[in-house]
Structure 1
Amino acid sequence: MKKRSLFLGTALLLALSMILAACGGGSGDDSSSGDGEGEEKVDFIGIATGGTGGTYYPLGGTLAKIIQDETGIKSTAETSGASAENMAAIKEGDIEIAFTQTDIASYAADGEQMFKEKVENARGIATLYPETIQIVTTKDAGIKSVEDLKGKVVSVGEAGSGTLLNAEQILEVHGLTTEDLEARNLSFDDSTTGIQDGTIDAAFITSGTPTGAVEGLAATEDIAIVPIEQAKIDELIEKYPYYAKDEVPAGTYSKVDEAVTTVAVLAMLVTSEDISEDVIYDVTKAIFENTDKITHAKGELIKAESALEGMGIELHPGAKKYFDEKGVSQE
């Protein structure tokens, strides 16, 4: 009888515990907003972009509004040091979504170049549009080719930035290094200000065109975009396959009357594997079902059909679910 009483008492305690758990007396596992174990609840989405003079920031503001309007999750665009810094922010869990270049995302995932450790939690949402490498100068500077940059004062991008790596690789196929220049590590805004006040001769700018900082410069100066010759484009792509041939179309900037051949990488959105499938599905759907609401000029290039081209890193399950529904597959 004593054993039976002990058994009944234990059973009653177990039943009471189950009732309390069902009523919300658990250990706090409700923080998950999706089906995945340990996924973060998301009631705010910060989008890490870049400097105010580039494309990421204004485009990020438009996307944040769309996400907030369509999902109800409060969203804002935040300025940052762009691609490499944004990947570090994803690694540390400091941001929910970030813009980056496809080449930088690949370096981060593999722990190469500026990344001493792999960014293992980064997952792709979508690629967006070409990020054109623009070598900006003035017509009076007399710089007609990449080789003419030798000995000049040139902004090659902020330290640790994707622009800096692009500059180094383009200089490399032309037989130059940053040591052959008077190199400066400046933001896009500071670069164009330097060209305007005569403290620098040219600047590498990796950004979707038209780029705000360059538009501002073109309003006051007769600017020129330095071309990259086809043979050098071929050499660059052979060595670094994530580049593609591109051009700055005629009329992109004031008094740039002819198209200029150059190269580009792709802009993309990344997130963390810890963000739930449901949230990223909703975010992806919000963006690609409302591209007509993207006010930035790059909105015309943002399409579901091309959103997995050049991805290079693992796709987030939420994004994959959306693109599977649309019949878009990752190459």
Structure 2
Amino acid sequence: MKRKQFKLLTILSLFALLVLSACGTTESGSGSTTDSDADKDSGKTKVDYKFLSLLTGGTQGTYYPLGGTFAELITTDTGVKTTAEVSQASAANMTALQNGEGEIAFVQTDIAYYGTEGILMFEGKKTDSVSALGALYPETIQLVTLENSGITSYDDLKGKKVSVGAPGSGTYANAEQLLEIHGLSMKDIQAQNLDFGESTEGIQSGQIDAAFITAGYPTSAVEALNATNKVSIIPVSNDKAEALIEKYPYYAKDAIPKGTYGLDSEVPAVSVLAMLAVKKDLPEDLVYEITKAIYDNTDKISHAKGEFIKAETGLDGIGIEVHPGAQKYFDEVKK
């Protein structure tokens, strides 16, 4: 009888230990990550950070030179060494933040929205550990070709070799949507997946006919092309712009001014916004100081896009959750 009781007690004890072990794994986070884990604060403060990575884009775009300036401002004002890193830009940056491969990143507002919603190129890969720091400037979708290419409208792209950016990139999504509004698709062109530098080099060498480039103008890669060849930017008519905005509200009407790239007249275009995104679990005090370092020192930004970066418009066009540290800064600005 005693032996049976002992066996019963042993079995019950083992069962209790298993239950406690399972509960401990769930509650402590030492097991699988739950959906809410991405929203939890890391428990760290500014003093826990010695280095920060700021993910930009290719060296021929706008993100990289601006990122270098931002990194200097953040390093100087926060005391946390910040480095601007070359990357594959918007979509890749959202994924990199999600995977903990950086702390701050340049992204397009449309791509940030896709990521946090888990749609389009982020289908099944939702970036739920990313929040917004602030809006920066318009990123114009520029369809670049040469004046002697014979391409003067979107219809002329049929059958041509056109760079549309890497699959899953912000530029690719913009190209796809603009082609759609003009009654075209990727099947109507010979799509080439090139970065900005490769695109303009390809146009110059005659290997491709045109390229979609989503970046703040003037874009260094396009300026370099115009230094040796007369550049042409294909316009987006008012009715097509309105149709695009009606279907995809994150776009806005834009125009590339006369004189940019030696243009003889203003060219109507459309744009999305560039913004900075951060890891959700960055401490509030650190993100507050990062935001302040950038928006309080816009007079130190030498790039042409610096004039568009203002604290007063820092939340314009943001379609994702704003980090509490950034929100604190913008709330103070409004007072």
Q: Which residue of 1 aligns with 2:197?
A: 189
Residue 259 in structure 1 maps to residue 266 in structure 2: yes
Letter in 1 for 2:305: K
Q: CA deviation at 1:38?
A: 3.0
Q: CA deviation at 1:284?
A: 0.3
Q: Is the 8 A contact 1:128 1:302 kept in 2?
A: yes
Residue 69 in structure 1 maps to residue 76 in structure 2: yes
Alignment of 1:33-182 (within 5 A): 36=41, 38-39=43-44, 41-115=48-122, 116-182=124-190
Query: Is there any run of 5+ residues in structure 2 with no aligned partner, and where?
Result: 1-39
SS of 2:148's partner is helix
Q: CA deviation at 1:37?
A: 5.0
Instruction: State the alpha-carbon separation in 2 of the partners of residues 68 and 107 from structure 1.
Output: 30
Alignment of 1:213-232 (within 5 A): 213-232=221-240
Instruction: State the alpha-carbon separation in 2 of the partners of residues 160 and 144 from structure 1.
Output: 27
Q: Which residue of 1 aligns with 2:251?
A: 243
RMSD of equivalent CA atoms: 1.2
Instruction: State the alpha-carbon separation in 2 of the partners of residues 232 and 225 from structure 1.
Output: 16
SS of 1:253's partner is helix
Instruction: State the alpha-carbon separation in 1 of the partners of residues 83 and 244 from structure 2.
Output: 36
Q: Which residue of 2 aligns with 1:18?
A: none
TM-score by length of 2: 0.86
Q: Is the 8 A contact 2:67 2:84 kept in 1?
A: yes
Instruction: State the alpha-carbon separation in 2 of the partners of residues 245 and 326 from structure 1.
Output: 28
Number of matched residues?
293
Q: CA deviation at 1:272?
A: 0.8
- Cα deviation 1:209-258 (Å, max 9, x = unaligned): 0001000000000110000111100000000000000011111112x111
Instruction: State the alpha-carbon separation in 2 of the partners of residues 74 and 127 from structure 1.
Output: 23
Q: CA deviation at 1:159?
A: 1.9
Query: Is there any run of 5+ residues in structure 1 with no aligned partner, and where?
Result: 1-34
Q: Is the 8 A contact 1:42 1:275 kept in 2?
A: no
TM-score by length of 1: 0.87
* Match 2:300 to one of 293, 315, 321: 293
Residue 208 in structure 1 maps to residue 216 in structure 2: yes
Letter in 2 for 1:321: K
Q: Which residue of 2 aligns with 1:199?
A: 207
Q: Is the 8 A contact 2:41 2:280 kept in 1?
A: no
Letter in 2 for 1:312: G
Q: CA deviation at 1:307?
A: 0.8
Q: CA deviation at 1:43?
A: 1.3
Q: CA deviation at 1:118?
A: 1.3
Instruction: State the alpha-carbon separation in 1 of the partners of residues 72 and 166 from structure 2.
Output: 28
Q: 1:274 to 1:36 in 2, by over 3 A?
A: closer
Q: CA deviation at 1:36?
A: 4.7
- Cα deviation 1:61-103 (Å, max 9, x = unaligned): 0000011111111011000000000000110111010000000
- Cα deviation 1:142-198 (Å, max 9, x = unaligned): 111111111111001112110000000000011100110011000000000000000
SS of 2:322's partner is coil
Letter in 2 for 1:123: S
Q: Is the 8 A contact 2:52 2:83 kept in 1?
A: yes
Instruction: State the alpha-carbon separation in 2 of the partners of residues 307 and 247 from structure 1.
Output: 21
Instruction: State the alpha-carbon separation in 2 of the partners of residues 233 and 67 from structure 1.
Output: 37
